[in-house]
Amino acid sequence: MRIDLQIGGYRVRLDESENHPQLAWPLRPFDSFLAQPGSQPDLDVTVTVAPHLPPLTKGPLRFDAAHGLWKLFESDAGLVIESMSPNTHQPRASALVSADYRTVSAWVLPEFQMGQVGWCPMHLFNPLIEVCLLSRMARDGTILLHAAGLSSHKQGYLFTGASGAGKSTIADFFAERGAHILSDERIIIRNIAGRFIIHGTPWVGSGNYAANDCSPLTHLYCISHGTGAHASAPMSPRAVTQELLRQSFLPLWDREGLDRTMGLLSDLVQQIDCRALAPLKSPDIVDFILAQGHPHPVGSL
């Protein structure tokens, strides 16, 4: 059984040759990202459903995620990823990954649901495939950002900020006015031929927006809760970069990917209209934002 997806212009293929039943798949947010088999994938994953995970030879530990839920090791054959169940903290999947993050041999334990034995693709997506895709994108100078993104009136808007800052709320207000919401949780940013493009992803926030679509980016807002009235102000490139770093999903285990990420951020803050936004929880925030549709000068360092 094969799963083909296209996320942010990247093709991901999972190939499980024994045709074990896929449990709890596809999840609704991933529906629109399913793709027809086509060209060579950017991330090619061979899946083996096994009663026991193989004893992969591991070298030095390169990265240990919070609470040990996944670990990345160096090895003579590439990289080794081990992931644990967040419920039992027992091994659930493992993978041998090429040094360029393009090919993956993955093993996953079988699952049992309603008398059926199969495997759960999401147990590979989280975290194995996400780690590999993030690493592959970063090496291409592509960013995965904790943000809401949308297009309205031929403009592309990006709203980034900490959880609870109001990204999904702003997306809801724009959606009520007919805007096309790409995502209210994670946005992919790519620089294609000198233009910054934002892409929707299947990873959703409270608004459950997940559009397999894209838009040129024209305005970026770093948001925080407002008081009294909506407010917006220019930000310096340094301040914007610091905020974007806080909200980016960074491949901390990969120096080359980090270097490319920093290069893209440097170009982004110089070319895109970036501002601070302190909105109230009110539908007229849409009018407030649209009224600022003309470019504003980026603040000086």
Band (297; pLDDT cuts 50, 70, 90): very low
For residue 105, list its beta bridge partners: 46, 96
Check residues 109 and 1 and name the one with the higher pLDDT.
109
Residue 197 pLDDT > 50: yes
**Averaged over 143-166, what is the pLDDT?**
95
**Averaged over 228-240, what is the pLDDT?**
95
Strands 116-118 and 180-183: unpaired
pTM of the model: 0.94
Sheet holding 2-7, edge to edge: 2-7, 10-15, 43-49, 103-108, 91-97, 78-84, 70-75, 61-64
Band (82; pLDDT cuts 50, 70, 90): very high
Cα 35 to Cα 224: distance, rounded to the nearest angstrom = 37
Burial of 164 per CB tally in 10 Å (0-12, 13-18, 19+):
exposed
Question: Can you say whether residue 144 is alpha, beta or left, with left for phi > 0 and alpha for psi between -120 and 50 degrees?
Answer: beta
**CATH 3.90.228.20 residue spans of the chain:** 143-290
Assign 6 to helix, strand or coil: strand
Residue 68 pLDDT > 80: no
Q: Say what the pLDDT of residue 293 is.
A: 66
CATH classification for the domain delimited by 143-290, as one of 3.40.50.300, 3.40.50.880, 3.10.20.310, 3.90.228.20 = 3.90.228.20
Cα 18 to Cα 9: distance, rounded to the nearest angstrom = 28
**Averaged over 102-117, what is the pLDDT?**
91
| Helices and strands counted in the chain (H then E) | 6, 19
Residue 288 pLDDT > 90: yes
Band (84; pLDDT cuts 50, 70, 90): very high
For residue 75, list its beta bridge partners: 78
Question: Across the chain, what does the average pLDDT equal?
Answer: 93
Cα 187 to Cα 132: distance, rounded to the nearest angstrom = 17
Nearest Cα to Cα of residue 110 among 12, 3, 23, 25: 23
